[in-house]
């Protein structure tokens, strides 16, 4: 059963919004565990062998991921989690394979215990976050 918690949220035009963070392919909007249509892809095990994120159980829960007939995608609750879940070499591998880190502000979200699900129909703002602002990319490149 998901645990719904109240986190840091903002009001914008009388709508409650939340900022979330997601690594995805910007062309097709697919994630590392599933395509946007819910097809398992498990690319994370190949692209992120060093980070702990590859070991997360990420089951597709239709009651949550397809709530109200919408597609809900997984995201992190804060930017610090990204640095914890993925190593610098993971970030470089993801980037080299077309994935990028994005920050979304949305008014359609479901806050679960370890993640936030958001619906693109509720996104009011998004921006790409440069990898070097989160990871020490230089040290990872020198190790390769």
Residue 127 lies in a domain: yes
The answer as to whether 9 is a domain residue is no
Question: What proportions of the chain, in percent to the nearest 5, are helix, strand and coil?
Answer: 30, 30, 40
In a domain, 110, yes or no: yes
DSSP letter for 60, please.
-
pLDDT at residue 143 greater than cutoff 70: no
Residue 98, domain member (yes or no):
yes
Between these two residues, 142 and 83, which has the higher pLDDT value?
Answer: 83
Task: Give which of 92, 124, 71, 70 is closest to 23, Cα–Cα.
Answer: 92
- CA 42 to chain CA centroid, Å, is 14
Count of domains forming the chain? 1
Q: Which residue has the higher pLDDT, 136 or 119?
A: 119
Note whether residue 5 is domain-resident.
no
User: CA Rg, the chain, in Å?
Assistant: 15
pLDDT at 101 over 50: yes
- pLDDT computed for residue 102 by the predictor: 95
Question: Is 86 contained in some domain?
Answer: yes
Of 5, 1, 15, 28, nearest to 125 by C-alpha is 15
pLDDT for 8 equals 44
- Whether residue 80 lies inside any domain: the answer is yes
Report which of residues 72 and 41 the model is more confident about: 72
pLDDT at residue 53 is higher than 90: no
Range of the domain at 121: 20-56+67-143
Find the mean pLDDT for residues 74-103.
89
Q: 15 lies in a domain?
A: no
């Amino acid at each position: 059963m998901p645990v719904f918690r109240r986190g840091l949220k903002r009001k914008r035009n009388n709508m409650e919004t939340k900022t979330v963070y997601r690594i995805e392919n910007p062309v097709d909007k697919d994630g590392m565990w599933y395509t946007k249509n819910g097809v398992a892809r498990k690319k994370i095990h190949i692209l992120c062998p060093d980070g702990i994120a590859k070991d997360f159980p990420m089951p597709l829960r239709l009651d949550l991921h397809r709530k109200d007939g919408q597609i809900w995608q997984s995201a992190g609750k804060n930017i610090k989690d990204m640095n914890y879940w993925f190593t610098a070499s993971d970030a470089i591998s993801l980037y080299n394979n077309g994935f990028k880190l994005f920050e979304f502000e949305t008014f359609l979200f479901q806050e679960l215990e370890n993640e936030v699900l958001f619906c693109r129909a509720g996104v009011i703002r998004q921006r790409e976050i440069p990898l070097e602002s989160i990871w020490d990319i230089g040290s990872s490149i020198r190790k390769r």
